Amino acid sequence: MAWVADLTSRPPAISRGRLVGATLAIFLVTLGVYWASAVVLDRTHTPDMAYFDQLADAFLQGRLYLLAPKSTHDLTRFAGRWYVPFPPMPALLLMPWVAVVGVGGVNTVLFSAVIGALNSSLAFWLLRELAERRWISLGGGDLLWLTTLWAFGSVHWYMSTLGTVWFVSQLVTATFMLLAAVLALRTRQPFWSGLALVGVLWSRPLGVLVLPFVAVMGTLETDGRLDLRRPFSWAATAALPIVLGALALLAYNQVRFADPLDFGYLTQNVSREVLGDLRRYGQFNLHYLPRNLWAMLLALPVVDEQGRWVPVIEGMSLLVTTPAILLALRAHGPHWLIVSAVLAIVLLWIPLGTYYNTGWWQFGYRFSLDFMVPLWVLIALGARRRAGWLSRALILIGVVVNAWGTWWFLNPLFFD
């Protein structure tokens, strides 16, 4: 455990007095870049497939279904009504905005940019908490380099500029997952992290599989020691609000589809390209595993009919879009933190790997955001004592690739 030597020899990466200012600066800069990305390519209007703004309006009017939606793609038809099958947390967050200005005054692209900027700030805060415990020995500048990776060197950039139902759901999931991790380190109190994980549950339910990782962070000693009984009792307490949240979600399904276990996914109005597999193999099946592995690790750009290099719309390798994930392979720090992070990535990817589509209409592998939080910790541990030239080079390559991908995905020359 050579990393233990840094516990007394190196100061915290950034003083508490500067933390709020740095976090606010990250939020404002990231928000500016995300919004400017949408403005430059004239994509600032709320898309027809936003849905959560309309669902928020429906909630305020006492309904759980949409009236005359502009699009019905990926909605679920039941008893003559159109429902949003995705869990409702983004709609709940939008309700105050809708209540004040009406659904027509809400801009889900701006909402996405704000949530994305908040995520970048929370990602920085999480690094700061790791540095506070001396599990990483990175200075303030190094932390900013890594935060650049999250904000602009991953698919998080383009996902924060769209405002559509799928991407908003994933962004909000990341918000509450980051919040749960930060609260585990900051407060060490399981209830507050459990409450944050309710937000994950109501956004993308399988995201709560991150709980063991959060429990280890909430109980791991500064010197890396861990009483293996403590994470279990900590997780059990954190699970109390999660169970209540799950019961509420089941009741929501019961009211919508007369079945607490029915989210409406199997009867979604999905694209014909993926409908066949959904009907034949179901929503989760090992049949999909090779295709999902290909999208995550092996898919490369191709040359289109006009001779242009373009991404594959079904997905593109993380090694291309975010090459700095290679830093995770040399993660160095508390043993149980590394083990729990790897476990969380495996648990979170099992349903993704057996899912009936790769993320479909996307740049890169957007489902990577679902396990980005534990991967983020491994990347930080892999950077070790500083973000050296190799780390910075990998981060910059990711920024360039994601700038290209954001331009490509939003460019009307490709999709209009």
The CA distance from 369 to 272, in Å, is 26
| Rounded mean pLDDT, 151-162 | 97
The CA distance from 194 to 46, in Å, is 32
pLDDT winner (highest mean) among 3-12, 82-91, 140-149: 82-91
| Rounded mean pLDDT, 359-384 | 94
- What's the burial of 396, exposed, middle or buried (CB within 10 Å: 0-12/13-18/19+)? middle
Quote the pLDDT of residue 185.
Answer: 96
Residue 10: pLDDT over 70:
no
| Rounded mean pLDDT, 150-162 | 97
Residue 320: pLDDT over 70:
yes
Give the least confident one: 49-63, 123-137, 238-252: 123-137
| Rounded mean pLDDT, 58-72 | 96
- Give residue for tokens 């307490």: 237
228 versus 93: which is more confidently predicted?
93
Considering only CA atoms, which of 180, 167, 172 is closest in space to residue 125?
180
Backbone phi and psi for residue 77, each to the nearest 5 degrees, phi listed first: -90, 125
Q: How far apart are the first and last CA of the chain?
A: 55
- What's the burial of 219, exposed, middle or buried (CB within 10 Å: 0-12/13-18/19+)? buried
Mean pLDDT of the chain: 92
Quote the pLDDT of residue 277.
Answer: 87
Which residues, 6 or more positions from 67, have their beta carbon under 8 angstroms from its beta carbon? Answer: 58
Quote the pLDDT of residue 414.
Answer: 57
Quote the pLDDT of residue 386.
Answer: 75
Quote the pLDDT of residue 415.
Answer: 47
Residue 405: pLDDT over 80:
yes
Q: Which two tokens stand for residue 212?
A: 């063991």
Specify whether the CB–CB gap between 131 and 13 falls below 8 A: yes
| Rounded mean pLDDT, 317-329 | 96
Residue 11: pLDDT over 50:
no
State what percent of residues in the chain have pLDDT above 90. 80
The CA distance from 346 to 343, in Å, is 5
Residue 367: pLDDT over 50:
yes
Specify whether the CB–CB gap between 237 and 187 falls below 8 A: no
pLDDT in tens, 195-207: 999 999 999 999 9
2: pLDDT confidence band, cut at 50, 70 and 90?
Answer: low
297 versus 41: which is more confidently predicted?
297
Residue 14: pLDDT over 80:
no
Quote the pLDDT of residue 273.
Answer: 82
Residue 394: pLDDT over 70:
yes
pLDDT in tens, 170-184: 999 999 999 999 999
The CA distance from 195 to 241, in Å, is 6
Residue 360: pLDDT over 90:
no
Residue 194: pLDDT over 70:
yes
pLDDT in tens, 203-256: 999 999 999 999 999 999 999 999 989 999 999 999 999 999 999 999 999 999
State what percent of residues in the chain have pLDDT above 70. 95
382: pLDDT confidence band, cut at 50, 70 and 90?
Answer: very high
The CA distance from 47 to 110, in Å, is 11
Quote the pLDDT of residue 278.
Answer: 86
Instruction: Give the distance from CA 409 to its chain's centroid.
Output: 18
Q: Which two tokens stand for residue 341?
A: 């992070």
